[in-house]
């Protein structure tokens, strides 16, 4: 098998591949792909976990066979991570179906990442490289939770979306299913369907690469869904429509792991109407007050907010004063901080 991209792991990196049952002499496709890519693979039947001896692996691959019991497979995951010194080893479960049941069970068992069927080499190899990079940063003494927080969010079936692209050409080397779905929802020019980033995304990527190389802080990109021929006019956020946003962030990756000149882009969708509802419930706000607070969390100035609302500065100041009085706060900065804490984990730009 010949792969077109350099997604090889570090030479000789030890990967433990745990399968449900071992068939003597039988080849395993994933093992062949991994070994050809430079990994040192040990394949083991789950029944042999109690007799497992040897060094700690860099990554564990645990296969959820189509006829496997989910609870039993998760118990095997716990047994592996409970071994002395193995708590921070990244564990990737193969064969998840993306259901909420499997996702929640896998997370509870300490699984850091997962791949759904059909499993493809061009998805597995970058995923392994990113997991190993995250584990290296986390350190062997960290807990699984800390390691997961420091690892790059390349998970697909566990809820994230990411793209691996070539920085010069914009060619998409690898993407998760969630990323493909989001790109189809937000971009109508057909570029991504042809394996390329849309022009506006390419401009942002090149700007961010220049900013990063100059030592500057990264800035994400937020886009709205593009209008499609024959589509009706979007309604306002108060009607729950036209409020979706797609946020892009560039994550640093080790060129030795994913190949020189490749970039990892992480996508996250937010819905302003959902955020407004969350603020309204959490702080007992009116729709107008929640909209003002949401703008404050995103750094909007009173002048910009007055322009958006089509109001005078005096009218807007009165609204802001009423908002501060309702929240029992004395500054817009304090209100913005309260809003951000209320939206923690919901808005890709306020967390």
Average pLDDT over residues 51-71: 82
Confidence of residue 135 (pLDDT cuts 50, 70, 90): low
- pLDDT at site 320: 94
Burial class (CB in 10 A: 0-12, 13-18, 19+), 77: buried
Instruction: List, as one string, the DSSP characters of 179-239.
Output: HHHHHHHH--SSTGGGTB--HHHHHHHHHHHHHHHTTPPP--EEEPPPP-TTPPPPPPGGG
- pLDDT at site 306: 84
If one compares 223 and 164, the residue with the highest pLDDT of the two is: 223
Tell me the pLDDT tens digit for each residue of 230-272. Answer: 544 444 444 444 578 888 988 766 555 555 777 888 888 878 8
Average pLDDT over residues 334-343: 91
If one compares 40 and 257, the residue with the highest pLDDT of the two is: 40
CB contact burial 271-304 (16+ within 10 A = b; e otherwise): bbbebbebbbeebebeeebbbbbbbbbeebebee
**Interatomic CA distance for residues 65 and 281, integer angstroms:** 43
Tell me the pLDDT tens digit for each residue of 187-204. Answer: 887 777 778 899 999 999
| 3-class SS of residue 20 | coil
Residue 185: C-alpha distances to residues 103, 180, 226 (Å):
24, 9, 8
Question: Which structural domains are found in the chain, ordered by start?
Answer: 14-150 (3.40.50.2300), 161-228+239-271 (3.30.450), 284-342 (1.10.10)
pTM: 0.48
- pLDDT at site 206: 92
Query: 79-93, 158-172, 196-210: lowest mean pLDDT where?
Result: 158-172
Average pLDDT over residues 154-159: 42
């Amino acid at each position: 098998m010949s792969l077109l991209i350099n997604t090889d792991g570090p030479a000789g990196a030890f990967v433990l591949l745990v399968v449900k049952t071992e068939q003597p002499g039988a080849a395993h496709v994933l093992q062949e792909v991994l070994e050809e890519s430079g990994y040192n693979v040990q394949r083991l039947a789950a029944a042999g976990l109690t007799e497992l001896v040897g060094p700690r692996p860099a990554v564990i691959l645990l296969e959820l066979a189509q006829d496997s019991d989910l609870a039993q497979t998760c118990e095997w995951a716990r047994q592996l991570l409970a071994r002395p010194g193995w708590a921070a080893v990244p564990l990737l479960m193969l064969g998840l179906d993306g259901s909420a049941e499997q996702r929640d069970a896998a997370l509870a068992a300490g699984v850091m990442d997962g791949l759904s069927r059909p499993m493809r080499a061009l998805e597995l190899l970058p995923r392994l490289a990113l997991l190993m990079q995250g584990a290296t940063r986390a350190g062997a003494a960290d807990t699984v939770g800390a390691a997961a927080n420091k690892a790059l969010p390349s998970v697909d079936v566990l809820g994230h979306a990411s793209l691996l692209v070539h920085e010069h050409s914009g060619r998409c080397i690898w993407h998760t299913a969630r990323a493909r779905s989001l790109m189809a929802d937000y971009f109508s020019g057909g570029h991504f369907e042809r394996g390329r980033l849309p022009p506006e995304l390419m401009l942002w990527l090149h700007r961010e690469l220049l900013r990063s190389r100059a030592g500057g802080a990264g800035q994400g990109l937020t886009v709205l869904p593009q209008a499609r021929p024959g589509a009706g006019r979007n309604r306002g956020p108060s009607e729950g429509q036209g409020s979706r946003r797609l946020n892009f962030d560039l994550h640093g990756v080790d060129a030795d792991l994913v190949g020189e000149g490749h970039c990892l882009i992480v996508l996250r969708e937010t819905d302003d109407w959902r955020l407004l509802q969350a603020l309204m419930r959490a702080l007992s706000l009116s729709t107008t007050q929640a909209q003002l607070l949401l703008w404050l969390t995103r750094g909007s100035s009173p002048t910009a907010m007055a322009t958006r609302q089509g109001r005078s500065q005096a009218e807007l100041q009165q609204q802001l004063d009423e908002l501060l009085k309702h929240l029992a706060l004395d500054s817009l900065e304090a209100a913005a901080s309260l809003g951000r804490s209320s939206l923690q984990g919901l808005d890709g730009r306020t967390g």
